[in-house]
Amino acid sequence: MNIYEEVKNAATIGISGHIRPDGDCVGSVMGLYLYLKKVCPDAKIQVMLEKPAEVFSCISGIEEIHTDFTSDVEVFQAFFALDAAKDRLGGAEAYFDHAEKKINIDHHISNKGCGDVNYIVPGASSTSELIYELIEDKSLLDEEIAKALYIGIIHDTGVFQYSNTSPATLNAAAELIGYGFDFTKLIDETFYEKTYVQNQILGRALLESISFMNGKCVVSMVDKKTMDFYRAVPHDLEGIVSQLRYVKGVECAIFMYQTDTMEYKVSLRSKEKVDVAKVASFFGGGGHVRAAGATMQGTFHDIVNNLSAQIAEQLKA
Ligand code: 5GP
Ligand code: MN
């Protein structure tokens, strides 16, 4: 696939990513946006995305994102869905559906491709790495594009720690830091740093976690009441599941927060033995082998029971 070839005749181009956008989603969307502004200077280019978390305000052009999807659906001549299939675009899904040319770029194994043009590479660390790869003329890269894509890569690889990190990932990152931005500060401020409240909830979630299946699984939950008490939003809970996964002996970590009465957003992480993409897909979600998620209905105990059955089956096999 060649991005420029796909959109060179489009007068209007839209770009979106998934709901509750994470670092890779924001990084890939903004990296592509900044790149397209350079290669298609005459096109009207619009990013349609849920408002990114405050930590991403260091990305150039972030204030130009359209976060309101209530106006009449505009027909874009080309529309990109990044880092997800169209069913996770939220309010932007209608723009994708109505677009003349739909382009889907993603690295989720659970995504079979939902566009007229699809570039789905499950082996890639991140959608940001794919955007980097797809920028054919690297002389068009600049510090701001590099920064956006680098943020995406560090977030989806846990700063080059997860098994999705490949030589290609590190080569891309090597090239990107060559643009001279302060990557140490970027990693600290967008990935590791937590607000006081975020740390408090993390502490509470760890304290209240439950270990089961002889220590092979650990689960924790934050209910709506607690989220309201701390005035926490979903982004404030990122990183809790990774911390649970660090527990010695754990093969699979589960974290969930309540989104409604009898509804929870579930995050799954695994070490070596459990394919959590498979578990999440079974419950209508998706993701990667080592990191996946789903929205599930029922009580906390129902959900843990349902997940446990799937996890136990894999651990037995
Ligand atoms: P997280 O647990 O951080 O929300 O997500 C882990 C991975 O699974 C991410 O790559 C994310 O995009 C994917 N994921 C999380 N929730 C869902 C979901 O409900 N559906 C699908 N298809 N993927 C999800
Ligand atoms: Mn991603």
Rg of the chain on CA atoms, in Å: 19
As a whole number, mean pLDDT of residues 120-124 equals 96
- The sign one gets for the Cα dihedral 147, 235, 57, 22 is positive
Neighbours of 309 (CB within 10 A): 11
Distance 292 CA to ligand 1 centre (A): 5
- Nearest Cα to Cα of residue 148 among 84, 273, 61: 61
Burial code of 195-208, b = ≥16 C-beta within 10 A, e = fewer?
eeebeebbeebeee
| 109 CA → ligand 2 middle, Å | 11
Of all protein residues, whose CA lies closest to atom 11 belonging to ligand 1?
Answer: 287
Topology, domain 196-316: Diaminopimelate Epimerase; Chain A, domain 1 (3.10.310)
**pLDDT band at 70, cuts 50/70/90?**
confident
CATH number of the domain at 3-192, please? 3.90.1640.10
Start and end residues for every CATH 3.10.310.30 domain found in the chain: 196-316
Q: What is the mean pLDDT of the chain?
A: 96
Atom of ligand 1 nearest to the CA of 20: 4
Handedness of CA 127, 130, 136, 141 (dihedral sign): positive
On the question of pLDDT at 136 being above 80, the answer is yes
Distance CA 144, CA 191 (A): 18
Closest among 256, 270, 249, 266 to 314, alpha carbons compared:
270
pLDDT of 73 higher than 80: no
**Two tokens at 200?**
């408090």
Is any atom of ligand 1 closer than 6 Å to the C-beta of 239?
A: no
pLDDT digits (tens, 9 = 90+) for 271-305: 999 999 999 999 999 999 999 999 999 999 999 99
What are the backbone angles phi and psi of residue 118, rounded to the nearest 5°? Answer: -125, 140
Distance of CA 20 to the CA centre of its chain: 8
- Which residues of the chain are in CATH 3.90.1640.10 domains? 3-192
Is 287 a pocket residue for ligand 1 (Cβ < 6 Å)?
A: yes
What pLDDT score was predicted for residue 76?
97
Cα of 229 vs centre of ligand 2, distance in Å, is 30
pLDDT, residue 72, reads: 75
Q: Could you tell me the distance, in angstroms and rounded to a whole number, from the CA of residue 214 to the centre of ligand 2? A: 32
**Contact (CB, 8 A) for 23 and 118:** no
232-268 burial code (b ≥16 CB/10 A, e <16)? beebbbbbbbbbbbeeeebbbbbbbbbeeeeebbbbb
Instruction: State phi, psi for 174 to the nearest 5 degrees.
Output: -60, -45
What is the chain's length? 317
Which residues are within 5 Å of ligand 2 (an ion), measured at CB? 24, 83, 126-127, 156
Q: What is the dihedral of CA 183, 189, 190, 193, to 10 degrees?
A: 130
Does the CB atom of residue 269 touch ligand 1 within 6 A?
no
Supply the residue whose CA is at minimum distance from atom 7 of ligand 1.
292
**Is it the case that residue 10 has pLDDT exceeding 80?**
yes
Name every residue whose Cβ is closer than 8 Å to that of residue 225 and which is 6 or more positions away in sequence. none
Any ligand 1 atom below 6 A from CB of 288: yes
Residues 184-197 pLDDT 10s = 999 999 999 999 99
Which of 19, 22, 25 most suits a substitution to test ligand 1, by most atoms within 8 Å of the C-beta? 22
